[in-house]
Copies of this chain bind each other. A is one copy, B any other.
Amino acid sequence: MQKQLHPNISVDCVIFGFDFEKLNVLLVERTYLHPETKEVIFSDYTLAGNHVYVDENLVDAAKRVLNNLTGLDNIYLEQFYAPEDPGRLLKKNDQLWLKKEGKNPEERVVSVCYFSLLNCKEVSIQKKDRNVDWHPISEIRNLGFDHDIILAQALKSLQVKLQNEPIGYEMLPLKFTLSQLQKLYEVVFDMEFDKRNFRKKVSKMKYLIQLDEKQKGVSHKPARYYIFSRDVYEKTKSDILNFSV
């Protein structure tokens, strides 16, 4: 891998995190100070992203961005979109920011976007010099660049994917309870589900394996733990069709 960033190619990462209560997205604060007076000209948030090295695989670049913020490797990543508009970086604030960052603000940048899935509780965010933190998805608006559009696409793609594959486990700890799993589906789809029906449904998933172990330290009846078996999943998944619309 050659150590030079390509001026026209970037990746952006929509990093979803579940904290057992809400669906969150990892955002980077962007505060632009007046070059002389140092007063705040604007301050907002963006997704995590970076240009790719000239000889770097796109998904490797996304992994690098993710590793930079979380210190983690082997995180679930899914390519979902590339913004189409050549004017995607031309808003006034974005231009100021790009200049400050030493970029040529006129340069067209095609960004290939990935979403990744994490359990908030198991990540320690590597802040370094930047202010990086989880934000509940319901409260996110007015992101920098075209990142509102990218985030909206990411959520749709996550929903489609979660309808078709059991990727929710990527956002849960190794051992989790059925209530936690249900809450995860509820926050991703922004819907509530009936507890008995949800359990009936997941009880058919053979790759969901009940442990003898129970929760500890909770001030109510402790729940049974479950684990996800990738092995069982890979062996039992069958390509069922239902062109439902």
Contact = CB atoms under 8 A, between A and B. Distances in A.
A163 B108 contact: no
A244 B163 contact: yes
A9 B110 contact: yes
A237 to B, nearest CB: 7
Interface string A38-50: 0000000000000
A96 interface: no
Interface of A: 6, 8-9, 54-60, 79, 81-82, 84-86, 108, 110, 112, 160, 162-166, 185, 189, 191, 205, 237, 240-245
Given A9-B8, A81-B79, A84-B79, A108 B245 contact: no
B112 A85 contact: no
A58 B79 contact: no
Nearest to A8: B8
Given A6-B8, A163-B241, 19 more contacts: A6-B108, A8-B8, A8-B110, A9-B108, A54-B86, A55-B86, A55-B108, A58-B84, A58-B110, A79-B82, A163-B242, A163-B244, A164-B244, A165-B245, A166-B245, A185-B243, A189-B243, A191-B241, A237-B245
7 contacts: A6-B8, A9-B108, A58-B110, A112-B112, A164-B243, A165-B245, A242-B242
Name the residue among A9, A160, A191 with the largest chain B CB count within 10 angstroms. Answer: A9
A104 to B, nearest CB: 13
B163 A160 contact: no
Nearest to A238: B245
Cβ-closest 6 pairs across A and B: A58-B84, A163-B243, A8-B8, A82-B112, A59-B84, A9-B110
